[in-house]
Chain A
Amino acid sequence: MPCEAFEELLNGYSDLPTAERANVDAHLATCPGCREFFETLTALDQSLAALYSFAEPRRIFEPALVRRPSPIPEILDFAGWAAVAAIIIMLGMVAATRFGYMLPLSAGW
């Protein structure tokens, strides 16, 4: 286990100013617990870099896939479709109203 006072400094070792780094180095030379923790941190740093070393996606997005005259305006996703639905419902109601009166008559009821 590292000394509590040095834990944060060891964790951020690479960002330390030169003077502070020298203090940490002096402590590391005399403290096996901190040295072991620091070595683990260093190995961890390299291993994490290895674990996430695949920087690029394998599949590259091809803009041609979306080649159209222009992008679909976002409004069509929401209000546009709502308006279309509202028009259909209104037409349905008008038709139902008209046929509702006309059907019985035409059926002779």
Chain B
Amino acid sequence: MDDEIRAHLEHQRWHQAFDLVVKHYQTKVFHLAFSILGNREQAEDASQEILLRIWRALPSYRGASALSTWIFSIARNASLTALKRGTSRPTVSLEESGVQTRAVARAAPARSLATLEALVAELPEKQRQVIALFYMEEKSYEEVARLLDMPLGTVKTHLFRARKELALRWQKESANAVRSL
């Protein structure tokens, strides 16, 4: 796909190149924006802005780095700028995300997911990003590393620490919930 996009760019066929960029990278750009912003609405706004930026910057792409690296770099920078512009870091609303309708039954009740969501929000920034991307990107360490421009070992370390912390805190929360009944 990247080769096809690059061929269009070489011949200044901007529209064709951009159509393919949108088709191929839109979801990944959204995942990356969400992992940084932690809010679906903001991530969708940021994704639109990121794609516009990419459109404007297409003529300046010289092929020095892989196309995906270039796109993810724009996406990360734009998301970080949006994060600085915004105030707090709200998390995805379960109702808004449609989670309740699809997956709750197989994993945990909504209350547990809300608790988990709050626990994730308390993790250090990098761990939050890695956790969100890992599960959005179908548990691919490599893809998380590529999107966040992070060494594979660092991704695994963040993920390990985040899962351990979440598991311990979740166990504690569950014990408290049982005691309060």
A residues contacting B by CB (< 8 A) are 7-8, 11-12, 36-37, 40-41, 43-61, 63, 66-67, 70-75, 77
Q: Within the complex, what minimum Cβ distance (angstroms) separates B88 from chain A?
A: 19
Query: Could you tell me if B171 and A36 are in contact, using CB atoms closer than 8 angstroms?
Result: yes
Kindly list chain A residues whose C-beta atoms are within 8 Å of the C-beta of B104: 50
Q: Of the candidates A12, A51, A66, which one forms a contact with B113 in the assembled complex, judged by CB atoms under 8 Å apart?
A: A51
Given A49-B135, A57-B27, A63-B19, 13 further pairs, Cβ under 8 A = A44-B116, A44-B167, A47-B108, A47-B112, A50-B108, A54-B92, A55-B27, A57-B43, A59-B44, A61-B48, A63-B18, A66-B52, A74-B60
Kindly list chain B residues whose C-beta atoms are within 8 Å of the C-beta of A56: 27, 30
Given A11-B163, A43-B107, A72-B56, CB of A54 within 8 Å of CB of B99: yes
Query: Could you tell me if A61 and B22 are in contact, using CB atoms closer than 8 angstroms?
Result: yes
- The total of Cβ contacts below 8 Å across the A-B interface reads 119
B interface residues, how many (CB within 8 angstroms): 52
Q: Of the candidates A43, A44, A50, A60, which one forms a contact with B102 in the assembled complex, judged by CB atoms under 8 Å apart?
A: A50
Query: Could you tell me if B56 and A74 are in contact, using CB atoms closer than 8 angstroms?
Result: yes
Confirm or deny: B26 has a beta carbon within 8 angstroms of a beta carbon on chain A: yes
Kindly list chain A residues whose C-beta atoms are within 8 Å of the C-beta of B12: 70
Confirm or deny: B117 has a beta carbon within 8 angstroms of a beta carbon on chain A: yes
Instruction: Identify which of residues 18-50 in chain B touch chain A, using a CB-to-CB cut-off of 8 Å.
Output: 18-19, 22, 26-27, 30-31, 40, 43-44, 47-48
Query: Could you tell me if B163 and A74 are in contact, using CB atoms closer than 8 angstroms?
Result: no
Q: Of the candidates B31, B52, B59, which one forms a contact with A74 in the assembled complex, judged by CB atoms under 8 Å apart?
A: B59
* Complex: A14 Cα to B22 Cα, angstroms: 34
Query: Could you tell me if B116 and A51 are in contact, using CB atoms closer than 8 angstroms?
Result: yes
Given A41-B163, A61-B48, CB of A53 within 8 Å of CB of B103: yes
Q: Within the complex, what minimum Cβ distance (angstroms) separates A93 from chain B?
A: 32
Query: Could you tell me if A46 and B99 are in contact, using CB atoms closer than 8 angstroms?
Result: no
* Complex: A51 Cα to B116 Cα, angstroms: 9
Kindly list chain B residues whose C-beta atoms are within 8 Å of the C-beta of A54: 40, 92, 97-99
Q: Within the complex, what minimum Cβ distance (angstroms) separates A39 from chain B?
A: 9
Bits for B143-162, please: 1 = Cβ < 8 Å to A, else 0: 00000000000001000100
Kindly list chain A residues whose C-beta atoms are within 8 Å of the C-beta of B102: 50, 53
14 A-B residue pairings within 8 Å (CB atoms): A36-B171, A40-B171, A40-B174, A47-B112, A48-B131, A50-B102, A50-B103, A55-B27, A57-B43, A57-B44, A57-B47, A61-B26, A63-B18, A71-B14
Confirm or deny: B136 has a beta carbon within 8 angstroms of a beta carbon on chain A: yes
Confirm or deny: B51 has a beta carbon within 8 angstroms of a beta carbon on chain A: yes
Q: Which of A12, A43, A50, A73 has the most CB of B within 10 A?
A: A50
Q: Of the candidates B14, B60, B135, B170, which one forms a contact with A40 in the assembled complex, judged by CB atoms under 8 Å apart?
A: B170
Q: Which 5 A-B pairs have the closest CB atoms?
A: A50-B103, A46-B107, A52-B135, A57-B30, A50-B107
